[in-house]
Amino acid sequence: MDTTLRDGEQTPGVSLVAEEKLLIAQKLDDIGVNIIEAGSAITSKVEQEAIKRVARAGLNAEICSYCRIRKEDIELAAGCDVDSIHLVVPVSDLHIERKLKKTRDMVLSESVEMVEFAKQHGLIVELSGEDASRADINYLTTLYKAGLDAGADRLCFCDTVGVLLPERTYEVFTGFSKLKLPVSIHCHNDFGLATSNTIAALRAGAPEAHVTVNGLGERAGNTPLEELVVVLESLYNYKTKIECSKLYSISRIVSRLTNINVSNNKAIVGDSAFTHESGIHVHGLMADSSTYEPIMPEMVGRKRRIVFGKHTGRASIIMSLRELGLETTKEQLDEVLRRVKELGDAGKRVTDADMQSIAETVLGIYQEAAVKMEEFTVVSGNKVTPTASLKLRVGDEEILEAATGLGPVDAAINALRKAISGIADIQLEEYHVDAITGGTDALVEVWVKLGKDDKIITARGARADIILASVEAVIEGINRLIQKGEKYRDK
């Protein structure tokens, strides 16, 4: 069961509109997820519309709504045309007594009643124990059995605050298997153990696991879909029915729509997961990629990337320049190396696109800047919406654009974004103010990461004025991304 659209959407700061939920659901269905928890019908009217759109989209996957043990939740879910409900019952004494202010017996009888109620509505029911990892296992087992007797189709064990250990998970799930209880596992990553615990439950016989794309979810998130699938496929040689080669693309889509960046060193889908810098590693990779990569990047729809930085040596630069078909004098080579290290020392990774543009600049191949800033104004204050306007010159064309923002820098970047959208499809992937040393007149360094197609470059602006530094960094990046002789897209 993928719960990106329910637990994942409970990630602080995430809210998806119906179109976005539908798009993610279609992608999940396309890569082969069996059950999609599309949301929680009780949340709002808008949420109900979104769940309905997903439920009526004709997907292969079973579409599920989260419900509490309340009639209104179940009625609203049924009204959204879902196939199933994830009926969540608090089962630890902590939750029963402190949160619900009820007793174990009350919760047990209400659960049974609600399972029966849901079955009358023709719903598939997954009866789920919330905070199961801190519940009395005998009470939990009693509740599971009563739920099954009342018609529940599946059961679930929620490690709501992520305190399970793999050893205990294996033991508990072995017990469920012996009792022939079909209990799925729902893990949280508060201690970084979500994937390990999920694997332990599956190995002990759990028939189902809950996951989210990029490990989104409350607090530290849930078990990441991509990690679980790749661990099963490549370390346990177990064939899931998930199309691994689409894992990276779904990760990117979810990251874009939720506005939650995947950290660089995130397993499988992080930016650095198949990126290499150190000279020794790169040397090994060239002989045999398995020396420093556990799986081929193509398995999950990615490409290997070699970057340059402070660890880069003269030899790898010569090699890389040869691959680009560029010959240098000794002085030019020294200058290229100096510029690469300068970026590297500032903690930046120099991509192959950066490398090409640095080399071309040093060798004088680099053309005159394609995009020039002619005018730039920004207005800010306590009673005015921060607004920026700018005039760019692109060849013979003049582009005038204005935008507002949360602050002056945001307004400036928004205006630039609008202006460049007419030139080429360039994305601002990262914005970072790096060094403000000394007083208010100190130099400010702004680093931006821009992407175009599959090229990513890092550009820098340095000024005493943070807004100008930001605009300059973006313009420098744009100029480096636009290749010589490239046709600008017609407006």
Residues lying near Mn ion in the complex (CB under 5 A) are found at 7
CB of 186 to Mn ion, least distance (A): 6
Q: Do 195 and 223 contact (CB within 8 A), yes or no? A: yes
Q: At closest approach, how far in Å is the CB of 189 from Mn ion?
A: 10
CB of 237 to Mn ion, least distance (A): 29
- Minimum distance, C-beta of residue 456 to Mn ion, in the bound complex (Å): 34
Q: Which is nearer to Mn ion, 3 or 251 (CB)?
A: 3
Beta-carbon contacts of residue 283 (< 8 Å; ≥ 6 apart):
none
Minimum gap (Å) between residue 218 Cβ and Mn ion: 6
Give 158 or 424: the residue with its C-beta nearer to Mn ion.
158
Q: Closest distance between Mn ion and the C-beta of residue 221, in Å?
A: 9
Closer residue to Mn ion (CB): 7 or 476: 7
Map tokens 């005038």 to a residue: 400
Phi-psi region of 203 (alpha: psi -120 to 50; beta: other; left: phi over 0): alpha
How far lies 104's CA from each of 97, 107, 116, 118, in Å? 8, 5, 19, 21
> Is the Cβ of residue 7 or residue 208 nearer to Mn ion in the bound state?
7
The b-or-e profile of 455-487 (16+ CB within 10 A means b, else e) is bbbbbbbebeebbbbbbbbbbbbbbbbbeeeee
Which residue number, 130 or 401, has a Cβ lying nearer to Mn ion? 130
In eight-state DSSP terms, residue 422 is T
Q: Compute the radius of gyration of the chain from its Cα atoms.
A: 27
Q: Which two tokens stand for residue 43?
A: 């949340």
Distances (CA, A) of 2 to 33, 132, 225, 232: 7, 19, 8, 16
Query: Would you say 7 or 227 has its CB closer to Mn ion?
Result: 7
Q: How many distinct helices (H) and strands (E) make up the chain?
A: 16, 14
Residue nearest to Mn ion (CB): 7
Name residues whose C-beta falls within 8 Å of residue 370's C-beta, 6 or more positions apart in sequence.
Answer: 394, 395, 478, 479, 482
Q: Smallest distance from the beta carbon of 3 to Mn ion, in angstroms?
A: 7
Residues 6+ apart with CB under 8 A from 258: 8, 9, 11, 14, 16, 216
Could you tell me the two tokens for 41?
């019908």
Query: Are the CB atoms for 458 and 446 separated by under 8 Å?
Result: no
d(CA 416, CA 476): 12
Q: Pick the closer one to Mn ion by CB: 133 or 357.
A: 133
| Smallest distance, Mn ion to C-beta of residue 157, A | 11
